Amino acid sequence: MKKLSVFAGLLIFVLAVTVFAYPGKHKYYKWWENEEIVKEVGLTEKQVTDLNAIDESYVDQFKKLRSEVKALRGELYDLMGDPKSTDEAIIAKHKEKITKKTEKMELKLEKKLKMRSLLNDEQIVTLSGIFKEKMAAYKEGKECSYKQEKEGCSYKDKQ
């Protein structure tokens, strides 16, 4: 019994440390903060500042949509697990979730287009080439995503 209590206490301690050590902030890739990309594309300080401002202006909208999608996903799981739920109710909830995800994707495109409008033609072409190379390397397993870390990754996320 003593060993079980010690084990339970240790488990709770480890979980508590893990929860508090994780900042809980959604981390995503900000290409305009990567020094290599900034140099290669030829971004000015003003462009970097403006890109950050555009990014920041969308934070609250993305948080709201993310929480709405998460809530809808939970509601859908609840409906799927309820034997009294009708197919129509499940389909309607699924469509509601898809609509919200589409809204999020459209907002992401809107943000990207605003960011793109800050770049000149040459910068757009250069940045597009970088992204194409990055995607090709990622597909071949030679490039890291923001979730992975591999030796030799070019354009690593800024830490």
Q: Give the Cα separation of 104 and 61 in Å (integer).
A: 9
Q: Which is more confident, 85 or 5?
A: 85
What pLDDT, on the 0 to 100 scale, is given for residue 141? 78
pLDDT tens digits, residue range 10-64? Answer: 445 444 444 444 444 445 679 999 999 999 999 999 999 999 999 999 999 999 9
CA distances from 75 to 65, 66, 80, 104, 109 (A): 15, 14, 9, 18, 27
Q: Give the Cα separation of 131 and 108 in Å (integer).
A: 17
Least confident of 15-19, 35-39, 81-85, 118-122: 15-19
What pLDDT, on the 0 to 100 scale, is given for residue 140? 82
Sketch out the chain's domains with CATH numbers. 29-125 (1.20.120)
80-85 average pLDDT score: 96
If phi over 0 gives left and psi between -120 and 50 gives alpha, with beta otherwise, what is residue 12? alpha
pLDDT tens digits, residue range 10-24? Answer: 445 444 444 444 444
Query: What pTM was estimated for this model as a whole?
Result: 0.69
What pLDDT, on the 0 to 100 scale, is given for residue 21? 42
99-128 average pLDDT score: 96
Q: Any residues with CB less than 8 A from the CB of 136 and at least 6 apart, and which?
A: none
Q: Give the Cα separation of 8 and 4 in Å (integer).
A: 6
